[in-house]
Every structure is written in C-alpha cells, then in structure tokens.
Homo-oligomer: A and B are copies of this chain.
C-alpha cells in the first residue's frame, strides 16, 4: 500500500466518501474545502483532520468541479502538497488539456472518475461504501508517472471500486451519453411538471419518479459538468432533437386525423419506430460486457 497519508480537497459527497473509505483503512486523512462548514461537517463524521499538513502527503484527491481541477492543481503543486495527485471530476479532457499546458509537474497527476453518486449532495450524504464495486475510470496521459498511476490504483482498491483505464476523450464521450445528456433530458421533462394542471402530480407513478429523479442535484455543479463536456453533450442532444421533431410532427398529424377518423400509417410508423428504438436502447444496458483489463502503467 503506497498511501499512508491522503489530502482531500473539496469535502462534498464524493470527497468526503473517499476520505471515509481511506480512514476505514487507517490512512491519515487531511481535509480542505472553501466552505468552512463543509470541512467541519466532514471532520465530525470522522473523515479526517480539518486542515492541510505541513509535510507532503502521498496522494492528494481533488474533489472540486471540473472547471476548477487545473487551477487548483497548479496552486497545490506550487506549495508542494503531495507526491501524487488525482481528481474525481466527471469530465476529464478539458482539465487534462489545461494541466498539460499549465501545471508545474503534470507527471505527478492522473485523472480519475468514480462512477458513483447520489442525488443528495454535501458531506452529510457521504458513505465509505459509495464506490464499492463501481467502475472508477483513470485517464493517464503520456506524462503520467508510474508512481502517480500506482497510488491512484491503490486509492481505488481502498474504496473497493473497479479500475478502468480510458483516454480522457473516450471517457467524456461515454459519460456524455450515459450521464450528462440523460441529466439534461430528465431536467427538460421535469421542468414541464410545473407547467401542467395543478393536481397532475397526484397521478404520478413510479415511472415518472424514476425518469426525473436525477434532475434533483446541484444545478451549479451540473452546469459546470455539462459545460466542461459541452460539445459531446450537444451532439447527442442534436440527434435527440431530430427525433423529437419527427415525433411532435407525427403527433399533431395523428391528432388531426383523430378528428377526421382517418388512418395515418406514416405518422404511426414514426411513433412505433421511436418506441422500438428506445426499447432496443434500454436493452443495451442489459448486456454487461466483460471488463477491459487494466494495461500496465506507462513508463
């Protein structure tokens, strides 16, 4: 085990959960957050000491929004906080590009993203078990050192997660599809719920609750996430927009014909085709493919 001391920068849900998992394995954990009350709450939960140490720690975990990764890394490296650095942000390519351009020592950094979360945010929602058996993506660059890679793998092991190595861009394209676009789509649907008949929600079932659940969540954090992966998310939503236009046109056509009691084979086909493709798409989630083996660390 290469991690005896750990610093966690940002004691929200994810940072505090990492800290709790490390504490459960006897690691000395130091906590920091711009928000004094968040760091105190994390410390009270037993996540670590509410201060940063004088001597360098083995690993620092940046649990800050995607847009803050590069500037915070530069600041921490300038003061020599840690031997190695990783982060847990859900977008990787933008920060990686900035870090390769501007960080004092990019070789000490490896990007990371644990695929875990809850709708609740903040340290009080944290759990040491949050990452258990979940994928945790690492995105080494051509400069990432063997030591930084190894410490990140050890952190993942401490958290009980399953490492997966990907290129930052491939990661971001995947999560645009599996997380960022779905979040916005849930928000788009949920936003309608305040526009309808006042008592419509009384007829809501589990289906509606499930489709909109992820639209809870911190709007500013999610705006930062989605903005950091804007082009990939926009491309997916553009394809969705094309389908949506066809469906709306088909529905208005069918509503007209309904009055006239005629058939409209083409519009009906548009609906059935979308529903079929949707059902097939959900089917993709049924087929867990075998995990990609973790290749040897570079250098």
A residues in contact (CB < 8 Å) with B: 94, 115-117, 134-135, 137, 164, 170-171, 173-175, 177-179, 181-197, 199-205, 207-217, 219-220, 222-223, 226-228, 230-231, 233-234, 236-241, 243-245, 247-248, 251-252, 254-255, 258, 268, 271-272, 274-285, 287-289, 291-292
Contact = CB atoms under 8 A, between A and B. Distances in A.
A263 to B, nearest CB: 10
Nearest to A98: B261
B213 A207 contact: yes
A217 B211 CA distance: 15
B247 A237 contact: yes
A272 B178 CA distance: 20
B186 A285 contact: no
Contact of A282 (B182, B213, B238): B213
Contacts of A288: 202
A117 to B, nearest CB: 7
A168 to B, nearest CB: 13
Chain A at the B interface: SS class: helix
Contacts of A287: 201
A251 B268 contact: no
A145 to B, nearest CB: 26
A177 B196 contact: yes
Contacts of A210: 210-211, 213-214
A197 B173 contact: yes
Contacts of A175: 203
Contacts of A268: 223, 227
A202 B279 contact: no
B244 A231 contact: no
Nearest to A247: B184
Nearest to A190: B281
A178 B198 CA distance: 12
Given A207-B179, A275-B222, A173 B196 contact: yes
A190 B241 CA distance: 13
Nearest to A288: B202
B278 A190 contact: yes
B217 A203 contact: no
A254 B281 contact: no
